[in-house]
Amino acid sequence: MKLELKLFYKIALWTSILGIIALISDFGFSQNDFSQQLFDGFYFIVLAVGIVSTFARYIENFALIKRKVIVFDILSVCFTFWIFYNYLFVGIPFETDQVLSNPIWVRFAVVLSFIREFSEVKFNYRREFLNPAQLFVTSFLLIIFLGTFLLMLPKATYEGLSFIDALFTSTSAVCVTGLIVVDTGSYFTGFGQIVILALIQIGGLGILTFTSYFSYFFKGGSSYENQLALSDITSSQKLGEIFSTLKYIILITFSIELISGVLIYSSLDANNFQSQYDKVFFSVFHAVSGFCNAGFSTLSNSLYEDGFKYNYLLQLTIIFTFVIGGLGFPIVSNIINYLKYRLRKLFSFGKNKIANKPWVLNLNSRITLITTVSISAIAFIAFYFLEYNNTLAEHQGFGKMVTALFGATTPRTAGFNTIDTASMLFPTTMMIFFLMWIGASPASTGGGIKTSTFAIAILNILSLARGKSRIEIYRREIADSSVRRAFAIISLSLIVIGLGIILISVFEHDKSLMEIGFECFSAYGTVGLSLGITADLSNASKLIIAVIMFVGRVSMLTIIIAIFKKIKQKNYRYPTEEITIN
């Protein structure tokens, strides 16, 4: 009996995989009436097999009823039965079925069936085959090439897309950069824009975050090797915290995106959209793109578009969204815990009074928040005064301040623009270079060298200036490994950007060094701002920019760790000698 069930589960898995392939073919290629009916009929087969498979698992192991996954199974089964009820008992012919006339529900059910079946597959990770860094890099490469294939499907664009342009767009979306070679809103169809949206979401969180958490959710556990790999990727200090960390990441992401989407929707003028669907999709797209610091927009000139560039409530919402996304999941989680602690302490009295805990907000959060606020404040003041009579001239009063704040914060990996970037003054442009290079905070959806790396570099300079051999702050000492890692990241970033500028200048004789440099800094910081030359680059230059975007997202240090084999630490030390530096 068990052998028969195992065989049936395999059949159910492959049926669900074929269902996803059918969905891709259905959306990606034009269908005639006959082929469409075949696809629609096959969807119902996938759903039927999925329901039987779900019931079989509970019959085989009744203890599954105690797991949280039963909620998902009940909802998905009820949803599928609702679809079948409409088809079987409403009494409408197959060709004009009300459910199939709005097939999104059937297709959504097919996706749910695939998630349920695929989550039951057991993946045993082995470090001997791939170390965590290699696994992380490989996962991004796989998603980039999958996205490239999907964007090249006939129904993804109105005019077709070359392999280089599809690869560039997919890399930009997965690496949450925002540099584009074709206009997202007018060149891609609804299906193509949904693919880009999915790539942004997966790239922002990481495919391993999705698959690992949902696998744990459905199975109720994970192997020790898998947990070790995830602890490296999520920077969890304890194995027991891994899946709670993943849960926080997913909850924080979707909660903020939901709040942002609602605020964006409420700030929009319906006259700027052809339909209610367009308004909702705009809100969802920009909420996800904002939180993931992707910078993609369905508008041709990003937010510098008539009807949007004076919408200051929209701009403030997007600022809030990408700043939170750029802080990093550990920082946001720590801030939430700190706010909970402050609220509990505020409303605690007498015997129930909560004791003072000075380190609820940890050192990592303090350094990141102080650096982020300091850089943003200085950049805001500089942008406001430098561009007051230039790109800010068309705004008045409060509008100037909001636009200046947007211009000061978006270079740190967000990539949206509410001004004509190419019209900025030279000093402002050079400041944008610097902000793009610093980027967002560690463990966030952004790129760059990261705020903590920049902070450690500044603290190290101050320590050397004061004659100290250690970096000390808030009665804590920064570990030597963190200092070495920070300066390795800084050095590698300059090498990658410099090499990119040299290579692109070989292929682009008609572009200025300023334009090429801006493009490379933007790509490495996964920012997406441009002086307007991206679409005019040669194929060779596009490939170079794509590589820089990838390196900026996964980090050159991670790639080096993935390439080089780790050596075992030896229990000896050589004599120490000072090297002449200056």
DSSP string, 128-156: TT--HHHHHHHHHHHHHHHHHHHHTSGGG
* Residue 458 scores a pLDDT above 60: yes
Mean pLDDT of the 376-380 span: 94
Specify the long-range contacts of residues 194-197, CB closer than 8 Å, at least 24 apart.
Answer: 195/147, 195/150, 195/151, 195/156, 196/151, 196/169, 196/296, 197/284, 197/285, 197/288, 197/289
Report the share of the chain in percent with pLDDT over 70: 83
* Residue 582 scores a pLDDT above 80: no
> What do you get for the CA distance between the two ends of the chain, in Å?
77
Structure tokens at 169: 């767009």
Task: Annotate 448-501 with three-state secondary structure.
Answer: CCCHHHHHHHHHHHHHHHCCCCCCEECCEECCHHHHHHHHHHHHHHHHHHHHHH
Place of tokens 């700030």: 267
pLDDT tier for residue 144 given thresholds of 50, 70 and 90: very high
* Residue 91 scores a pLDDT above 50: no
* Residue 209 scores a pLDDT above 70: no
* Residue 333 scores a pLDDT above 90: no
Mean pLDDT of the 454-469 span: 89
Spatial CB neighbours of 546, under 8 Å, sequence gap ≥ 6: 167, 168, 171, 172
* Residue 444 scores a pLDDT above 50: yes
Mean pLDDT of the 381-409 span: 92
* Residue 545 scores a pLDDT above 90: yes
Structure tokens at 528: 């997406």
Q: Alpha helix locations (H) across 268-328?
A: 276-291, 312-327
> Which pLDDT score is estimated for 242?
60
Task: Report DSSP letters for 516-540, one per residue.
Answer: HHHHHHHHHTT----SS-GGGS-HH
pLDDT tier for residue 224 given thresholds of 50, 70 and 90: very low
Place of tokens 């891709």: 24
Spatial CB neighbours of 154, under 8 Å, sequence gap ≥ 6: 28, 29, 30, 160
> Which pLDDT score is estimated for 101?
45
Residue 476 forms beta bridges with which residues?
473
More confident position, 236 or 112: 112
> Which pLDDT score is estimated for 193?
92
The per-residue pLDDT for range 305-323, each reduced to its tens digit, is: 888 889 999 999 999 999 9
Q: Which of 163-172, 232-241, 557-566 has the highest mean pLDDT?
A: 163-172
In order of 103, 281, 459, the CA distances from 277 in angstroms are 16, 6, 50
Report the share of the chain in percent with pLDDT over 90: 29
Rounded distance between C-alpha atoms, residue 302 and residue 179, angstroms = 11
* Residue 475 scores a pLDDT above 70: yes
In order of 25, 438, 545, 554, the CA distances from 442 in angstroms are 38, 11, 22, 11
More confident position, 261 or 208: 261
Q: Which of 112-126, 232-246, 516-530 has the highest mean pLDDT?
A: 516-530
* Residue 231 scores a pLDDT above 60: no
> Which pLDDT score is estimated for 556?
84
Rounded distance between C-alpha atoms, residue 34 and residue 504, angstroms = 50
Mean pLDDT of the 366-377 span: 91
Q: Which of the residue ranges 133-142, 143-152, 230-239, 271-280 would you say has the lowest mean pLDDT? A: 230-239
Q: Which of the residue ranges 385-399, 429-443, 562-576 would you say has the lowest mean pLDDT? A: 562-576
> Which pLDDT score is estimated for 203?
84
* Residue 145 scores a pLDDT above 60: yes
> Which pLDDT score is estimated for 404?
94
Mean pLDDT of the 39-53 span: 85
SS3 content of the chain, % helix, strand, coil (to 5): 70, 0, 30
Number of other residues whose CB lies within 10 A of the CB of residue 163: 12
Q: Which of the residue ranges 330-334, 435-439, 567-571 would you say has the lowest mean pLDDT? A: 567-571
pLDDT mean across residues, the chain: 82
> Which pLDDT score is estimated for 455?
92
pLDDT tier for residue 380 given thresholds of 50, 70 and 90: very high
In order of 64, 368, 450, 461, 471, the CA distances from 456 in angstroms are 49, 10, 10, 9, 8
Phi, psi angles (nearest 5°) of residue 62: -70, -20
* Residue 382 scores a pLDDT above 80: yes
The per-residue pLDDT for range 94-117, each reduced to its tens digit, is: 444 444 445 677 888 888 888 777
Residue ranges of the domains in the chain? 2-118, 132-323, 360-563
pLDDT tier for residue 519 given thresholds of 50, 70 and 90: very high
* Residue 92 scores a pLDDT above 70: no
Residue 7's H or E segment, with its range, is helix 2-28
* Residue 491 scores a pLDDT above 80: yes
* Residue 445 scores a pLDDT above 60: yes
* Residue 554 scores a pLDDT above 70: yes
Residue 543's H or E segment, with its range, is helix 539-554
> Which pLDDT score is estimated for 151?
93
Rounded distance between C-alpha atoms, residue 95 and residue 88, angstroms = 13
Q: Alpha helix locations (H) across 328-425?
A: 329-346, 363-386, 398-409
Residue 188 forms beta bridges with which residues?
157
pLDDT tier for residue 122 given thresholds of 50, 70 and 90: low
* Residue 18 scores a pLDDT above 70: yes
